[in-house]
Amino acid sequence: MSDTTLVKAEINYEPNIGDYFALLKPRVMILVVFTALVGIIAAPVDLHPFTIFVSIIFIALGGGASGALNMWYESDLDSLMRRTRNRPIPSGKITSDEAKAFGFALAGISVVMLGLAANWFAALFLLFTIFFYVVIYTMWLKRWTPQNIVIGGAAGAFPPMIGWAVATSGISMESVLMFSLIFLWTPPHFWALALFMRGDYEIARVPMLTVTHGRRSTRNHIFFYTIVLAMFALFTSSTSLGGWVYLLTAIVLNAIFVTMAFKIWVRDEPEAEADNFKVERNFFRYSLMYLFLQFGSILVDLGLGTNFSWGFL
Amino acid sequence: MNFGAEHELHKRRMSKNIGLGIILVTFVALIFGLTVVKVTEGDVSGAIVGAASNE
């Protein structure tokens, strides 16, 4: 195919529903849905199941709107990186303007609908989360500082607080604890990705830790942050979120997580390149399971009635 | 009257239109369900009886 026919094909390409769905970052959406659901169910207020269902749908759509607006603003970077060059905009399936309009429309619909379905505090919280992800993280932090993932991670940590707000119209210590778990989990998760997607961030000139401070420093940071996360996750078991299942899950999950982070810490680059970053890839995959199981254990404790009544926070 | 052969583009638009239609119907169903829950707190049969007695 010549360049001319390629351009013609892209102009004639009619995006399908799947292309728009891809703009919503569906894998991130799964995390948003699950953690927001835990936030709603863990809250001490009973809601009608249909209200929960509708609220979760619009929280997910709000997360999807953030994803679409992120892809709109970052399409220049996405086209440079192997990991993202097949996304709908760089691959020519959807134009940048379409993605922008789609993202803003979804953001408006999701915020208004969450306000009508649940309450306006939760809706404003969702609006703030979209603003934080799109403006603070995507437009400002990501291209400016290696702390992009650390501070920007707050956007991905808000969904359980939004879920809690859906049920209670407010914020509490429990919702802040759930936020903190995801907030501390995010940096090691993404730094592991930056280690094995080597070259991508350098080419796109994104100031990830691997680019600004080097790969050795990134390994140190992963180990340090994972220890802090493990200590916090274990501490949370002594709060009102804790329970027997949570405690046992936290002990096992964090022991494995810290061991994996230790393996990343002691490795050097030639060793990692020799096995194509197997340890780093495993750490990244495990981190996803870690978060689902840790949050899932909160639900199991609630279901079994095994949560600690003596939690001091 | 001579109709042109259907282009592949029309098939793709058809799938997009059907998808959009399903999304709109789902949206209407969500609004309706939410309205029922808000008005009756989930007691649909009570709401129907109440509406009938008001007539």
- What are B8-26's pLDDT values in tens digits? 777 778 888 898 999 999 9
Q: Is the predicted pLDDT of residue A5 greater than 90, yes or no?
A: no
Do residues A183 and A309 both lie within one domain?
A: yes
**Rounded Cα distance, A264 and A195, in Å:** 10
Which of A17, A48, A116 lies at the smallest CB-CB distance from B19?
A: A17
pLDDT value for A168: 96
Q: Could you give the count of Cα atoms lying within 13 Å of B33 in the half-sphere of its Cβ? A: 14
Boundary-marking domain end, from A171, A195, A230: A171
Hey, are the CB atoms on A51 and B15 less than 8 Å from each other? no
Which of A60-74, A191-205, A288-302 comes out lowest in average pLDDT? A191-205
**Rounded Cα distance, A89 and A19, in Å:** 9
Q: Is the predicted pLDDT of residue A10 greater than 60, yes or no?
A: no
Do residues A10 and A129 both lie within one domain?
A: yes
Do residues A72 and A122 both lie within one domain?
A: yes
Q: What is the mean pLDDT of residues A266-285?
A: 94
Q: Is the predicted pLDDT of residue A4 greater than 60, yes or no?
A: no
Do residues A89 and A180 both lie within one domain?
A: no
Instruction: Give ipTM to 2 decimals.
Output: 0.78
Do residues A131 and A181 both lie within one domain?
A: no
* Domain encompassing residue A20: 1-171
Q: CB-based contacts of A281: which residues, under 8 Å, 6+ apart?
A: A192, A196
Boundary-marking domain end, from A129, A149, A171: A171
- Under 8 Å between Cβ of A45 and A169: no
Q: What is the mean pLDDT of residues A94-115?
A: 96
Do residues A258 and A307 both lie within one domain?
A: yes
Q: Is the predicted pLDDT of residue B45 greater than 80, yes or no?
A: no
Neighbours of B3 (CB within 10 A): 5
Do residues A136 and A20 both lie within one domain?
A: yes
Which residues of chain A have a CB within 8 Å of the CB of B14?
none
Hey, are the CB atoms on B13 and A14 less than 8 Å from each other? yes
Q: How far is CA B12 from CA A6, A13, B17, in A?
A: 18, 9, 9
- How many domains in chain A? 2
- Tell me the CATH number at A27: 1.10.357.140
pLDDT value for A199: 80
Do residues A132 and A221 both lie within one domain?
A: no
pLDDT value for A6: 42
pLDDT value for B44: 61
Do residues A121 and A23 both lie within one domain?
A: yes
- Give me the residues paired with residue A105 across strands: none
Do residues A163 and A224 both lie within one domain?
A: no
- Tokens representing residue A24 in the block: 């919503």
Do residues A22 and A166 both lie within one domain?
A: yes
Which residues of chain A have a CB within 8 Å of the CB of B30?
54, 57
pLDDT value for A197: 87
Q: CB-based contacts of A123: which residues, under 8 Å, 6+ apart?
A: A111, A112, A114, A115
Do residues A124 and A178 both lie within one domain?
A: no
B-chain residue closest to A117, CA distance? B34
pLDDT value for A1: 39
Q: Is the predicted pLDDT of residue B1 greater than 60, yes or no?
A: no
Which of A50-59, A163-172, A196-205, A249-258 comes out lowest in average pLDDT? A196-205
More confident residue, B53 or A60: A60
Boundary-marking domain end, from A151, A171, A191: A171
